[in-house]
């Protein structure tokens, strides 16, 4: 083998090794970023579950017809948001609707969004049903 062939082979080997290491580093970095994002999404889901449980505990036995989005916001303020997560509470179109929006610190895009209503929390407003004519006659 001539010296030129050895030099070309060494250069090709070095370039291939460098490219391979760069690809491996990119893959490892992407994998680490994906894992970090998944952990943050799990924090958001945990926050959602904690808020729901807190609301259900507080609203148990309360006349739900009087609860509105502002009261839900006040109740949510007592549950702190997880680290590195921003929680935004926005009143909905109906009086008992509240939009929950989560995003990560330093990011402008909303990651998760959920509409919460008092009915969705498993509570109901009992409205008295008027008596029918036959029911009234039965009472007389």
Say what the pLDDT of residue 129 is: 61
Q: Which residues contact 129 (CB under 8 A, 6 or more apart)?
A: none
**Segment 14-27 mean pLDDT:** 85
Residue with tokens 């509570």: 123
pTM for the predicted model, two decimal places: 0.65
Name the phi and psi angles at 60, rounded to 5.
Answer: -65, 120
Report the Cα–Cα distance between both ends of the chain, in Å, rounded: 117
Largest CA distance in the chain: 118
pLDDT tens digits, 68-83: 778 888 888 888 888 8
Q: Which residues contact 103 (CB under 8 A, 6 or more apart)?
A: 85, 86, 88, 109, 110, 111
CB–CB of 68/96 below 8 Å?
A: yes
Say what the pLDDT of residue 66 is: 64
Residue of 134 and 31 predicted with greater confidence: 31
The pLDDT of residue 128 is above 60: no
- 56 pLDDT band, cuts 50/70/90, is confident
> How far is C-alpha 32 from the chain's CA centre?
21
**Segment 81-95 mean pLDDT:** 87
- 133 pLDDT band, cuts 50/70/90, is low
The pLDDT of residue 132 is above 80: no
Choose from 16-25, 54-63, 123-132 the range with maximum mean pLDDT: 16-25
């Amino acid at each position: 083998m001539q010296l030129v062939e050895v030099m070309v082979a060494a250069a090709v080997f070095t370039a291939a090794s460098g490219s391979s290491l760069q690809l491996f580093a990119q893959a490892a970095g992407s994998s680490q970023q994906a894992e970090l994002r998944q952990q943050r999404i799990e924090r958001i889901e945990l926050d959602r579950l904690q808020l729901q449980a807190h609301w259900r505990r507080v609203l148990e036995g309360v006349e739900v017809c009087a609860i509105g989005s502002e009261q839900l916001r006040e109740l949510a303020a007592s549950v702190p948001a997880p680290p590195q997560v921003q929680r935004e509470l926005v009143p909905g179109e109906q009086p008992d609707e509240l939009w929950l929006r989560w995003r990560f610190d330093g990011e402008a895009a909303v990651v998760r969004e959920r509409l919460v209503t008092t009915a969705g929390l498993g509570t109901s407003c009992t409205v008295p049903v008027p008596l029918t004519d036959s029911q009234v006659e039965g009472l007389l």
